Chain A
Amino acid sequence: MDENQNPVYSDKRHGQYRELSYSYNEGGEYNKTVGFHGEADRVILQQAWDLFNDRIEEARQKVLAGKVSPVVYYMEKNLLDPMNLSMMAGISLWRVKWHFRPNVFKRLRESTLAKYAAAFNITIDQLKNIG
């Protein structure tokens, strides 16, 4: 597991760190090895990132087409669902969903935008313009 072949990951930053793993051989010995994680591990992690990236891209397209507000895009980008976003931003769940509407988002107060910006760790300007 020592050579870092990174063919499974689509993101070049992935698979760059060596980990410590335990194993057991039939001779009855527990061993510790330090190395890059193997293909099976990469496959299952890439599966998660594929799903997240698909959702993020879909949300981005919808925002650009004016169908949903940038809140949706940033929610997906931060791997959140409405319930978790509600907890993070400190805004009730029904209001969060209400803010998915582009025309509602346009009329939001600075203070509300600030809550989202803080939750997403971005500026209000970035929130308004996903570019």
Chain B
Amino acid sequence: MEQTKTIIDYTHRQAGHCESGATSNLFKFNGLDISEPMAFGIGNGLYFSYIPFLKIQFAPMISFRNLPNTVFKRSTDYLGIEATVVKNIKDPAEAMRMLDRNLEKGLPTGCQVGVFQLTFFPPEYRMHYNMHNLVVYGKEGNNYWVSDTVMEHPQQISYDDLLRVRYAKGAFAPQGKMYWINRRIEGNIDLKPAIIKGIQKTVYEMIGIPFPLIGVKGLRWMARDIKKWPKKHGNDKAAFYLGQILRMAEDFGTGGAGFRYIYGAFLKEAGELFSDHTELLEAADMMGKTANKWREFTYMGARNCKNRSKPEEDYGTLSEKLLEIAAEEEKVYKKLKNIRFQ
């Protein structure tokens, strides 16, 4: 029997963050040139939450990015692009058939997957993490062609292996979620209204939500907790929890800093788009400097993980650094909040 082959002329580009990378590549495929930072910013990728009583991989649940699919959904919404998201597909075989039908129609399709059993993924990152995204753009016999923006090059994965990761279990289980842009984007799309909406929503999530574990409040809460960890949990556990913050902030090589670099790059692009908007460009600079502070925090934290000699002192310093970072981030969001866009 002849091997069936359906490969869409989709351009794979490596990116810093899987969802904004996938979203950006999908937009570009459909004729709208949107960079990864722009997709991330419009789609409210930036976030923070700290849920100490929920444990993932033996440590508190910490998130530097929004829920999976937020970036795609919100960026398509705010830009007025028609897109489809299908959630909770009960039958895995049906989910794969839907994917195949999309490929035959020439629609590259985003899938949420878990990375633990993702065959081609760098092994050091294969822990239980279900918020990963990739785009399927071809099928050759029993294998699919996949664009996973964490990787430098496109990858192949078998039917069984793809089904398995689309139905990975645990927290934030993908349950076959798939998404795509309905058709080629025609005409000029004005990014400005979408940028404004995106910024306002992110500002709300970081300083507007009256819940203590989210946004800047969450950062401060975590900063205060860090100091208590050695006494409360012992040095070993404290070091592991600290490592968890750092692993979440890194999230597969975003340049560390929990996506703050990507957001700063977005603000810079936005500032240039708004005819060199002073405040946006200033905010971009502030965010860049804050991201650098996050990077310092990561280095300090990693040193602490490596040699746990004087934990109380180190955790105290780390706590102070995190409070500094929280204060700086708050300044950025307040600045963005006060911008009156014409």
Measured CB to CB, the residues of A under 8 A from B are 9, 11, 13-24, 26, 28, 30, 32, 34, 37, 39-41, 43-45, 47-49, 51, 78-81, 84, 87-88, 119, 121
| Chain B 110-138: CB-based contact to A (< 8 A → 1; otherwise 0) | 00000011000011110110000000000
Determine, out of B67-75, B187-195, B287-295, B327-335, the stretch whose residues face the partner at the interface.
B287-295
List 8 interface pairs A-B (beta carbons < 8 Å), by A numbering: A17-B151, A20-B15, A23-B255, A24-B288, A26-B289, A43-B305, A47-B305, A48-B127
Taking a contact as CB atoms under 8 Å apart, the answer to whether A88 and B170 are in contact is: yes
Bound complex: CA of A82 vs CA of B298, how far in Å? 31
> Which chain B residues border A34 with CB–CB below 8 Å?
14, 152
Given contacts A28-B285, A30-B264, A79-B57, 8 further A-B contacts (CB under 8 A): A24-B288, A30-B288, A34-B14, A41-B250, A41-B298, A44-B301, A44-B302, A49-B124
Closest to A84 in B: B170
Taking a contact as CB atoms under 8 Å apart, the answer to whether A24 and B151 are in contact is: no
Taking a contact as CB atoms under 8 Å apart, the answer to whether A30 and B268 are in contact is: yes
Question: Contacts A30-B268, A49-B124, A87-B169: A44 and B261 contacting too (C-beta < 8 A)?
Answer: no
Which residue of the partner chain, among B55, B124, B240, contacts A45 with CB atoms under 8 Å?
Answer: B124
Within B281-328, which residues are at the interface with A (CB < 8 Å)?
A: 285, 288-289, 291-292, 298-299, 301-302, 305-306
Taking a contact as CB atoms under 8 Å apart, the answer to whether A13 and B265 are in contact is: no
Measured CB to CB, the residues of B under 8 A from A are 14-16, 37, 55, 57-58, 116-117, 122-125, 127-128, 149-152, 164, 169-171, 239-240, 243, 246-247, 250, 252-256, 261-262, 264-265, 268, 285, 288-289, 291-292, 298-299, 301-302, 305-306
* Chain B CB within 10 Å, residue with most, of A19, A78, A79: A19
Taking a contact as CB atoms under 8 Å apart, the answer to whether A30 and B247 are in contact is: no
> Which chain A residues border B306 with CB–CB below 8 Å?
43
CB distance from B55 to the nearest CB of A (A): 8
Taking a contact as CB atoms under 8 Å apart, the answer to whether A51 and B58 are in contact is: yes
The prevalent SS among residues of A at the interface is mixed
> Which chain B residues border A17 with CB–CB below 8 Å?
122, 151-152
> Which chain B residues border A11 with CB–CB below 8 Å?
123-124
> Which chain A residues border B247 with CB–CB below 8 Å?
44-45, 48
Taking a contact as CB atoms under 8 Å apart, the answer to whether B243 and A20 are in contact is: no
Bound complex: CA of A23 vs CA of B255, how far in Å? 6
* Chain B CB within 10 Å, residue with most, of A26, A37, A40: A40
Which residue of the partner chain, among B15, B170, B299, contacts A40 with CB atoms under 8 Å?
Answer: B299
> Which chain B residues border A45 with CB–CB below 8 Å?
124-125, 247
* Chain A CB within 10 Å, residue with most, of B15, B55, B240, B288: B288
CB distance from B149 to the nearest CB of A (A): 8
Taking a contact as CB atoms under 8 Å apart, the answer to whether A40 and B240 are in contact is: no
Closest to B239 in A: A47
Closest to A35 in B: B253
Q: Which 10 A-B pairs have the closest CB atoms?
A: A19-B253, A24-B288, A21-B255, A22-B261, A14-B124, A40-B302, A30-B265, A22-B255, A43-B302, A44-B246
Question: Contacts A24-B261, A30-B265: A18 and B152 contacting too (C-beta < 8 A)?
Answer: yes
> Which chain B residues border A43 with CB–CB below 8 Å?
302, 305-306
CB distance from B249 to the nearest CB of A (A): 9
> Which chain A residues border B124 with CB–CB below 8 Å?
9, 11, 13-15, 45, 49
Closest to B123 in A: A13
> Which chain A residues border B261 with CB–CB below 8 Å?
21-24, 30
CB distance from B50 to the nearest CB of A (A): 18
